[in-house]
Amino acid sequence: MTTLLQELSKKAAERWAAILLGPGLLFVACLILAHHQRFGHAHDLAYLRAYVGALATDKANQEPAGLFVKAALVLLGAATAGLLAASAGRFVERCRLPERPWWYVAALTGWRAWRWDRADAALARAVTKAGQALARDRLLGVTTVRRFPAVERRQARRDRISGTRPVKPTWPAQRMTGAADRVRRRYGVDLAEVWPHAWSLASSELRGDIQTVRDGFAASARLTAWAWGYAAIAVCTGWWPAALLAAVLLPVAGRRGREAVDALATLAESAVDLHVREVAERLGVACPDAFGPTTAAAVNTILRA
């Protein structure tokens, strides 16, 4: 128990250090800078040097008590910003993977399906033109293998939206739904129902990989929250470099979130592949051969009882 508490304390200290010494302090520094520079002096280094010089020569900042108070206020502000970013990050996670029919779900799903239909129609037209070109080549006796960049571009554009017609409002939600569909087709069981049992039987290495990817997804959501925070600074103060920072962070956070969800879905499928038979046996369902429909029906009966 003592060792466990020490490890938990160490992890808590590491998390607080990550919040305080990294993004939180950077955000507070950006906020102070934006409040002073504003729009008119956004990139005026002379104006900034004069401000820093005035702070350095201020007698109140040369006294230990004054320095201690201001340092404590900066750390408190960084901690507050970090906690707000963590809470906002959890909200971003819920928006990416909605668990209930929020107001935006139907509208966003319809919009993604409309975009996918347009991209699929463009791909179909490109494939038709490519087929016509190949038919002409056969009539002319041309045997050279041809590539069709237009088809590749349109297929990549469609697949960036979704591999299949979207039924979920976001790419991460669609990817996790695809993983659940594959597990259902392959084994006849529901991923959400069998997952807790597969997780309990997974090896420590697989658990560690899944937890690492899950932490990466949470970190990408927090990065999105920080990006919106910098955008808010730009709007409220007019300091446009904060908007540039937000414009850089938002696509980075989105890409990291996609990568994390893709890896998480793959690992979840792997865990079910490796342990679905063991789950059935632990539940008292005989599984001497392949995991078939009869075994799936018996497992579903137990899990849904």
pLDDT band at residue 8 under the 50/70/90 scheme = very low
Domain boundary among 167, 196, 211: 167
Q: Are residues 155 and 112 in the same domain?
A: yes
Per-residue pLDDT reduced to its tens digit, 215-235 = 899 999 999 999 999 999 999
Is residue 11 in a domain? no
Q: What is the pLDDT of residue 2?
A: 41
DSSP-derived secondary structure letter, 20: I
Strands in the chain per DSSP E? none
Is residue 198 in a domain? yes
Q: Are residues 51 and 194 in the same domain?
A: yes
Q: What is the pLDDT of residue 5?
A: 40
Q: What percent of the chain has pLDDT over 90?
A: 28
Average pLDDT over residues 167-190: 90
Q: Which domain holds residue 183?
A: 19-97+170-303
Per-residue pLDDT reduced to its tens digit, 80-125 = 898 899 899 999 998 888 877 777 788 899 999 999 999 999 999 9
Q: Are residues 40 and 60 in the same domain?
A: yes
Per-residue pLDDT reduced to its tens digit, 35-73 = 887 777 767 677 777 777 766 676 666 677 777 787 888
Work out how many domains the chain is built from and give that number: 2
Helix or strand or coil: residue 188?
A: coil
Token pair recorded at residue 61: 């900042």
Give the H/E segment covering residue 143: none
Is the pLDDT score of 149 beyond 90? no
Q: Are residues 287 and 141 in the same domain?
A: no
